[in-house]
Amino acid sequence: MHIDEAADDGRAFGLAEHELFAAWAGTMRPRGLRLRIGADHEAAEEIAEVGFRWTDEVRWMIWNRPDGAVVDDLWQRGEEQQTTYAILEDALAAITATVDEEDADDASP
């Protein structure tokens, strides 16, 4: 399920979450990631889009729901595409772990 198909229960990120995004983006920028937060989605007040700097394509979308931070991995198919985390820190840690795994796969012979 993509954000367009989600229930209209997405809410804005708070100040602490914006600060967390800024700090995380600062550590991930040297690794080639970019972060954009926008309010132009119908199903949520704000959506964070994470992708790689060398393309306009979005890899992950993150939004807030009452039950936690939802991460939609747009490169995945099926049930594993969308995951809800209790807190934003866990959502960002999961994206970081995926980038770490992909970097390790790229580095292996």
Q: How many other β-carbons are positioned within 10 Å of the β-carbon of residue 33?
A: 19
Confidence of residue 5 (pLDDT cuts 50, 70, 90): very low
Which tokens go with 36?
């954009």
Which tokens go with 6?
């989600």
3-107 CATH pick, 3.90.1150, 3.40.50, 1.10.1060, 3.40.960 = 3.90.1150
Query: Which sequence spans correspond to the domains of the chain?
Result: 3-107
Angle at which helix 88-107 crosses helix 15-28, to 10 degrees, equals 10
Listed in sequence order, the residues at least 6 apart from 90 whose beta carbon sits closer than 8 Å to its beta carbon are: 69
**Mean pLDDT along residues 56-68:** 92
pTM, whole model, 2 decimals? 0.83
